[in-house]
C-alpha cells in the first residue's frame, strides 16, 4: 500500500526535523554531562516515515550487528507523541555500572550484579530519553509527559520491537541516531518513533519553527 502525500514528510520537512534534532541533542548532551559527568555523543540523525507494520523489520535491520541487546522503552505524550527506544548492546549494563557506580561492594547491599546493571540501564535510559525528547518538544513549542520506562535485558535483537507498538494501519515517523559515551567503549541506538496521531501537527510545527528561526 502506497503512502498518501499527507502521510509522509517531504524532504524539506525531514531536513527541518533533522536540524531540530541536532540542536536538541546537542543541548541534551550538555545537560547530561552535568548530571552524569560524561559527555554523550550523538550522530547525525536519520529521519524516515514508514508504515507501522514495517517497524519491527526496520529496527531489526538497523540492529543486525548486535545479536543480543537491552532496550529501555518509554512513551512520551503531548502534541508531539510516540515511543522512545534506547538500545544497548549486550554487556553495556555492566560497563555503565562500573562507570557510574560508587565503587561499593554490590553484595553488601543484597543486590545482584544483574539487578544493579538493570537499574543502571534504566536510570541512564530515563535521563537520556527525557533530555532528548524534552528538548525536541521544547523546540517544537510543546510540552510532553512520560509513561514509566520499561526495560528488557539481554533480548534477541529480532524481538526489540513488538508488532503491536502502533496500530497496524498507521504511519510512523522514525528518528534514529547512534550514541556513544565519550572516551568509553559504550554505544547504542536511539529511536524516536512518532505516532500518526501527531503527524499533521508535526508538519505544521516544523514550518512554524522554520518561520521563527530562519
Show the cell assigned to 27: 543541548
DSSP result, 31-68: HHHHHHS-PEEEPPPEEEEEEGGGHHHHHHHHTTT-SE
Q: Comparing C-alpha atoms, which of 33, 40, 8, 1 is closest to residue 206?
A: 8
Domain 8-213 has CATH 3.40.1550.10: yes
Q: Which residue has the higher pLDDT, 31 or 22?
A: 22
Number of H helices, E strands in the chain: 5, 8
User: 184 pLDDT band (50/70/90 cuts)?
Assistant: confident
Rg value, the chain, Cα: 17
Residue 105 dihedral angles phi and psi, to the nearest 5°: -80, 120
pLDDT category at 27 given cuts 50, 70, 90 is confident
pLDDT digits (tens, 9 = 90+) for 134-154: 999 999 999 999 999 998 887
**What pLDDT is stored for residue 145 in this prediction?**
96
Domain ranges of the chain: 8-213
Q: Would you place residue 187 in the very low, low, confident or very high pLDDT band (cuts 50, 70, 90)?
A: confident
What pLDDT shows up at residue 171? Answer: 81
Cα 69 to Cα 87, 93, 152, 165, distances in angstroms: 7, 10, 8, 18
Vertex 30, ends 26 and 34: CA angle to 5°? Answer: 160
pLDDT tens-digit readout, 105-122: 555 454 677 788 888 888
Burial class from Cβ neighbours inside 10 Å (0-12, 13-18, 19+) for residue 65 reads exposed
Give the tens place of pLDDT for each residue, 36-62: 777 888 888 899 888 888 888 888 888
Q: Predicted confidence band at 1 (pLDDT cuts at 50, 70, 90)?
A: very low
Using one digit for the tens of pLDDT, what is the confidence trace for 58-96? 888 888 887 788 889 999 999 999 999 998 887 787 888
Contact 174, 17 (CB under 8 A): no
Considering the chain, what percentage of its residues have pLDDT values greater than 70? 85
Which pLDDT tens digit goes with each residue over 191-205? 998 888 888 999 999
Amino acid at each position: 500500500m502506497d503512502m498518501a502525500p499527507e502521510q509522509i514528510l517531504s524532504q524539506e520537512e525531514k531536513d527541518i526535523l533533522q536540524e531540530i534534532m541536532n540542536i536538541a541533542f546537542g543541548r541534551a548532551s550538555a545537560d547530561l554531562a552535568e548530571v552524569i559527568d560524561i559527555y554523550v555523543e550523538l550522530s547525525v540523525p536519520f529521519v524516515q516515515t514508514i508504515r507501522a507494520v514495517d517497524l519491527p523489520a526496520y529496527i531489526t535491520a538497523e540492529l543486525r550487528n548486535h545479536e543480543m541487546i537491552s532496550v529501555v522503552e518509554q512513551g512520551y505524550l503531548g502534541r508531539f507523541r510516540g515511543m522512545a527506544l534506547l538500545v544497548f548492546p549486550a554487556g553495556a549494563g555492566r560497563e555503565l555500572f562500573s562507570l557510574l557506580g560508587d565503587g561499593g561492594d554490590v553484595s553488601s547491599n543484597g543486590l545482584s550484579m544483574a539487578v544493579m546493571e538493570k537499574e543502571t540501564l534504566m536510570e541512564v535510559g530515563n535521563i537520556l530519553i527525557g533530555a532528548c525528547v524534552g528538548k525536541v518538544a521544547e523546540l517544537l513549542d510543546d510540552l510532553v509527559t512520560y509513561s514509566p520506562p520499561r526495560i528488557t535485558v539481554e533480548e534477541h535483537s529480532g524481538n526489540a520491537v513488538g508488532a503491536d507498538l502502533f496500530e497496524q494501519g498507521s504511519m510512523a515517523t522514525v528518528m534514529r541516531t547512534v550514541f556513544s559515551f565519550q572516551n568509553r567503549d559504550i554505544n547504542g541506538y536511539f529511536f524516536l518513533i512518532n505516532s500518526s496521531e501527531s503527524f499533521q501537527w508535526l508538519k505544521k510545527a516544523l514550518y512554524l519553527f522554520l518561520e521563527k528561526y530562519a
